[in-house]
Structure 1
Amino acid sequence: MLTRRSAVSWLAGCLTLAAFSLPAAAQTAEKLKVVATFSILGDMVRNVGGERIELVTLVGPNGDAHVYSPTPADGRRLTEAKVVFTNGLKFEGWIDRLVKSSGTKAARIEAAKGVKPLKSEDSGHGHGHDHGHGGSDPHAWQSIGNAKIYVANIRDALIAADAPGKDTYEANASAYLKQLDELEAEVKGLVASIPADRRRIITSHDAFRYFEDAYGIDFVSPQGVSTESEASAKDVARIIQQIKREKIAAVFVENVSDARLMERIAKETGAKVGSQVYSDALSEAGGPAGTYIDMMRHNIRAFSAALSS
C-alpha cells in the first residue's frame, strides 16, 4: 500500500515523464523564423515581431549591403525561414540569386512596397555586377514617413504568417509608430533650427535624398547611390568647386564608406569634417546608431551641430 508521501512522489514522476513526452512546440511556443537582409530593416522587424519571432539578419552592423556576398550559411537560413524581409527597390542586388539557390519556400516581403521612389541620380556611376538599382534610389528608410510604411508592411506580413500573434504584432507596431512620430518631430525641429542658407552637406555616397526630400537639407556626394560606384576625378573636382563656391560648411563620412576621399575633399576646401554618420547600416549594439531610431537621431544631431556652429 502506497504511503501518502510515496503516492505524491509517484504522481510527480508521472507528470514529469508526461511533460518530457510532449512535443517541443507544446512545451514552448515555437517562434516564427524570420530573415531580414540588413541591419536597419532587421531592427524594424525586431521591434514589430518582439518575442514571437526568431530573427536572423544577413548583413550585420556596419556591413554594406551594396557589395555583400552571401554565404552558404545564408542559404540555409533562408531555407529555414518562414518569412524573408528585403528592402526592395533593387537595394540587395544579390537576393534573387540567394533565394533561387536556397530553394526557400518562405514568403518574400519587400518592406519598401508602397513607398514613392525617388529617381536615382547615378548618371556616370557604373554599378557593375548586379548591384544596379534600376533607376530608383533604394534608401527609402532615410525618410521617417517611409519607415512607417515599412513598419506597416512588416506588421501585415507577420500577421499573415502567424495569425495567433495578430494582437501582439499590432500592439508592437502601434507602439513603434508612436516612437517614430516623436522622432520625426525631433528631426523637423532640429532642421528648423539650422539657418536656411547653411542647409547643405557633403556625404560620401548619395544615400540621403529621401532625407533631403522630406526635411529640406541638401546633400551632395561624389559617389552615386551605390558604394560600389567610384567617384571620377571629374566628380571630385566638381564637388570641390561647389564647396568653395557655395561655402558648404561640413563634409560627413559614412560608416560604410572609405574616409580617405572625404578627408581629401575637406583638406582641399577647408570644410569641417563632421562626426561619422550612418546611412546604410547601423552601428554595433550600444554604439551611437545601434537602432534605426538612434541612427536617425544621431545623424540629425551631427548635421545640426556642424551646420549651426
Structure 2
Amino acid sequence: MHPALHPAPQPTPSRRRLTAALVAAALGVGATACSTAASSATGTSSSSDDPIQVVAAENFWGSLAAQLGGSHVKVTSIIDNPNADPHDYEPTAADGRTVATARYAVVNGIGYDAWADKLLSANPSSDRTELNVGDLVGVEPGGNPHRWYSPDDVHQVIDRITADYKKIDPGRASYFDARKKTFEDRTLATYDGLISSIRKTYAGTPIGASESIVSPLADGLGLKTLTPGTFLDAISEGTDPTAGDKATIDEQIAEKKIKVYVYNSQNSTPDVQSQVEEAKAEGIPVATVTETLTPAGASFQEWQVRQLREIQQALAEATGK
C-alpha cells in the first residue's frame, strides 16, 4: 500500500496478497504451539500475580490495550514499526508463538489484517478472548477499515477492552474500571477536546483527502470530504485511480473548492504527491496523517493529538477562524 515505505513504482493490487509460503510457515509454527497455548493460558488464569498476556495486531490498538491494563497486562503489538504496512504484513514464526500463548487478542478486522485472523484460526483456544474491532463497531469486510481514526469507534474499543479484562481477571475489575475512568477523563482529555473544538468551529468545511484513511476522521470532525470516494479507495488499496477522478481533484484544487488537503504521508504515491504540490501552489494548507503510530514509541493519544493540532491549524489558516 505504501510506496513511500516500500521503494517501488506505483502500487499494484498484487501488493495486497501475502506470500503464501511465509504465511504457511507462520501458521504451521502457531499450530504446533497450540497445545502449549492452552496450558500456558490456563496457568496464567490460575495465578493472580501474572499479567494477562495480550497480543494486538497493530500498535494503535496495542497502545490502548496497554494503557487500560496497566501493570496487570503485558501487551505485544505485532505491527510496531512505522515503516511496516499492516495490509501486506507477512507474519513470522515468532508471531505465531505470540498468538498461541496470548489470553487476549485484538485485531482490526474488515480485511485490514487478514493474516492476524489466520494466525488466530491456526491456534484455537477456549481460554483466549478475542476482539475484532470491525465486528464490534459493525463494519463488514469491504467497508472502511481505518476505525482507529473514528473517535466514536475508539471509545467503543476502550469500553470493550475494559469489559474483557474484567471478565478475564474479575478479581481486578475495580482496578480496570479505575484505569478506564482515568484514561477517558484525563489521558484522552486533549484528544476529545480537540475533536469537539474542531467540530464546533469548522463543521461543514470542505476538504480534499489522499485516501480513505482520512474519511472516518473527517466524519468525526464534521468536515465535508469532496474527493471522489473511488479515488480514496484506489489509493488506499494500491490500485490505479481513474483519469476522471484525478481531473476532478485537479479542478477542486485549482478552483479552491477545498479549504484544506489532508494526506497520508506514509502513502505518498506520485498522484498524491502531485496533488500536494498543486494544493501548496494554490495556497491551500496541507495537513498530514499516518497509518501507524509515529514516531516509534509514541502513545495513541500523543500521535492523534499532534495530527489533530496540525489539521486544526490548517483549518484556521484556510478559514481565518
Q: Indicate the TM-score class for this superposition, using the shorter chain for normalisation.
A: 0.7 to 0.9
Alignment match, 1:59: 79
SS of the aligned residue for 1:58 comes to strand
Partner of 2:194: 186
Q: Summarize deviations over 1:228-256 as a string: whole Å, max 9, x none.
A: 33232423233222322343244333243
User: Is 1:101 the equivalent of 2:101?
Assistant: no
Task: Find 1:232's aligned residue among 241, 260, 267.
Answer: 241
* C-alpha distance 225-69 of structure 1, shift in aligned 2 (>3 A): farther
Match of 1:69 in 2: 90
Q: Is 1:33 paired with 2:53?
A: yes
Same amino acid, percent of matched pairs: 20
**Paired residues, what number?**
266
Distance verdict in 2 for CA 1:242–1:38, change over 3 Å: same
Q: For residues 181 and 24 of structure 1, what CA distance do their matches in structure 2 show? A: 34
Residue 37 of structure 2 corresponds to none
Unaligned runs of 5+ in 2: 1-42
1:87 paired with 2:108, answer yes
Label 1:265 to 1:24 Cα distance change in 2 as closer, same or farther (>3 A): closer
Partner of 1:242: 252
d(CA) in 2 for partners of 1:33, 1:283: 24
| Distance in 1 between residues matched to 2:265 and 2:299, nearest whole Å | 14
Distance 1:73 1:139 in 2: 26
- One-letter code of the match for 2:100? T
Q: 1:308 to 1:149 in 2, by over 3 A?
A: same
Task: Determine helix, strand or coil for the equivalent of 2:238.
Answer: coil
| Cα separation, partners in 2 of 1:305 and 1:24, compared to 1, 3 Å | closer
CA change 1:46–1:72 in 2 (3 A) is same
Q: Map Cα deviations across residues 215-235 of structure 1 (whole Å, 9 max, x no partner).
A: 211233733187333232423
Unaligned runs of 5+ in 1: 1-22, 118-132
Does 2:300 correspond to 1:292? yes
From the superposition, tell whether residues 293 and 225 of structure 1 become closer, same or farther in structure 2 (CA, over 3 Å): farther
Q: What letter corresponds to residue 116 of structure 2 in structure 1? A: I
Q: Is the CA contact 1:64–1:256 (under 8 Å) kept in the aligned structure 2? A: no
Once residues 254 and 216 of structure 1 are traced to their aligned partners in structure 2, the CA distance between those partners, rounded to angstroms, is 19
Question: Which structure: greater helix fraction?
Answer: 2
Corresponding position of 2:28: none
> Given the alignment, which residue of 42, 66, 70 partners 1:46?
66
Residues 102 and 72 from structure 1, CA distance in 2 versus in 1: closer, same or farther, beyond 3 angstroms? farther
Is residue 140–residue 147 contact of structure 1 (8 Å, CA) maintained in 2? yes
Change in Cα spacing, 1:43 to 1:24, as seen in structure 2 (3 Å) is closer
Shift of 1:160: 1.5
Q: Please give the secondary structure, in 2, of the residue aligned with 1:54.
A: strand
Distance 1:255 1:307, change over 3 A: same
Which TM-score applies when normalising by structure 2?
A: 0.72
- Mark the CA change 1:83 to 1:28 in structure 2 (over 3 Å): closer, same or farther: closer
Structure with larger RCO (C-alpha < 8 A, sep 6+): 2
The separation in 2 between residues aligned to 1:300 and 1:31, in whole angstroms, is 33
Compared CA separation, residues 295 and 33, structure 1 to 2 (3 A): same
SS of equivalent to 1:227: helix
Aligned to 2:309: 301
Q: Report which of the two structures shows the higher radius of gyration computed on alpha carbons.
A: 1
Instruction: Find out whether 1:253 has 2:263 as its counterpart.
Output: yes
Q: Partner of 1:175 in structure 2?
A: 182
Q: Specify whether residues 184 and 26 from structure 1 end up closer, same or farther in structure 2 by C-alpha distance, changes over 3 A only.
A: closer
User: In the TM superposition, what whole-angstrom CA distance separates every residue of 1:122-170 from its partner, at most 9, and x where no partner exists?
Assistant: xxxxxxxxxxx62321222222222111001101111222222212111
Counterpart code for 1:232: P
Instruction: Please give the alpha-carbon distance, in whole angstroms, between the structure 2 residues aligned to 1:42 and 1:24.
Output: 20
Distance 1:241 1:64, change over 3 A: same
Distance 1:24 1:254, change over 3 A: closer
Q: Given the alignment, which residue of 263, 267, 274 partners 2:286?
A: 274
Cα displacement string for residues 254-308 of structure 1 (whole angstroms, at most 9, x for unaligned residues): 2431354322123345344634323x3111346xxx2222222222211122222
What one-letter code is carried by the residue in structure 2 that aligns with 1:42? G
1:262 pairs, out of 254, 257, 272, with 272
TM-score by length of 1: 0.75
Q: What is the deviation of 1:181?
A: 5.1
Return the letter of the residue paired with 1:229: G
The farther-off stretch of 160-169 and 225-234 is 225-234
